[in-house]
A and B are shown apart, each in its own frame.
Chain A
Amino acid sequence: MKALVAVKRVIDYNVKVRVKADNSGVDLTNTKMSINPFDEIAVEEAVRLKEAGVIDEIIVASIGPKESQEQIRAALALGADRGVLVQTDAKPYPLQVAKILKSIAEQEGTDIILLGKQAIDDDNNQTGQMLAALMGIGQGTFASEVKVAGDTVNVTREVDGGLQTVALALPAVITTDLRLNEPRYAKLPNIMKAKKKPLDEKTPADFGVDMTSKQEVIKVVPPAERKAGIKVGSVDELIDKLRNEAKVI
Chain B
Amino acid sequence: MAILVYAEHDNASLKKATLNTIAAAKQMGDDIHVLVAGSGNQAAADEAAKAAGVSKVLLADNAAYEHQMAENIALLVADVAGDYSHIIAPATTTGKNFMPRVAALLDVSMISEITAVIDAQTFERPIYAGNATATVKTTEDKVVLTVRTTAFDPVAAEGGSASVETLDNIQDSGKASFVNEDMAKSDRPELTSASIVVSGGRALGNGENFTKYIDPLADKLGAAVGASRAAVDAGYVPNDMQVGQTGKIVAPDLYIAVGISGAIQHLAGMKDSKVIVAINNDPESPIASIADYFLEADLFDALPELTSKI
Could you tell me which A residues sit within 8 Å of B by CB distance? 11, 13, 16-17, 19, 26, 93-95, 98, 120-134, 136-139, 141-142, 144, 154, 157-169, 172, 177-179, 213-223, 226, 229-232, 234-236, 238-239, 241-242, 246, 248-249
Assess whether B253 is in contact with A168, with CB atoms less than 8 Å apart: no
Q: What's the minimum C-beta distance from A207 to chain B, rounded to whole angstroms?
A: 16
Closest 5 CB pairs of A and B: A129-B100, A138-B176, A133-B104, A162-B183, A130-B104
Given contacts A95-B109, A139-B101, contact A167 B177 (CB under 8 A): yes
* Shortest distance between the CB of A121 and any CB in chain B (Å): 6
The interface residues of chain B lying within 8 Å CB-to-CB of A160 are 92-94, 192, 240, 248
Q: A139-B70, A220-B133, A230-B293 are in contact. Are A123 and B112 (CB under 8 A)?
A: yes
Once the chains bind, are B306 and A239 in contact (CB under 8 Å)?
yes
B132 touches A126 (CB 8 A): no
10 contacts between A and B (CB under 8 A): A13-B265, A129-B99, A129-B100, A164-B67, A165-B179, A165-B180, A166-B69, A226-B271, A232-B293, A248-B275
CB distance A159 to B93 under 8 Å?
yes
Nearest opposing residue in chain B for A222, CB measure = B132
Q: In the complex, which residues of chain A have a beta carbon less than 8 angstroms from the beta carbon of B92?
A: 160
Give the docked Cα–Cα distance between A49 and B145 (Å).
Answer: 34
B134 at the A/B interface (Cβ < 8 Å)? Answer: yes
Q: Are A239 and B309 in contact (CB under 8 A)?
A: yes
Residues of A within 8 A of B294 (CB): 229-232
Interface residues of B (CB under 8 A from A): 67, 69-71, 74, 92-94, 96-105, 107-113, 122, 125-140, 173-184, 192, 196, 221, 229, 233, 238-240, 245-246, 248, 253-254, 264-265, 271, 274-277, 283, 288, 290-297, 302, 305-306, 309-310
Most chain A beta-carbon neighbours within 10 Å: one of B92, B126, B138, B182 = B182
> Provided the pairs A19-B132, A95-B103, A130-B100 are in contact, do residues A161 and B176 lie with their beta carbons within 8 angstroms?
no
Determine whether the beta carbon of A163 is less than 8 Å from that of B182. Answer: yes
The minimal Cβ–Cβ distance linking B62 to chain A, given in whole angstroms, is 18
Q: Tell me, in angstroms, the Cα distance from A157 to B233 when the chains sit together.
A: 16
Residues of B within 8 A of A139 (CB): 70-71, 97, 101, 176
Distance in angstroms from B184 CB to nearest chain A CB is: 5
Instruction: Say whether B94 contacts A159, CB under 8 Å.
Output: yes
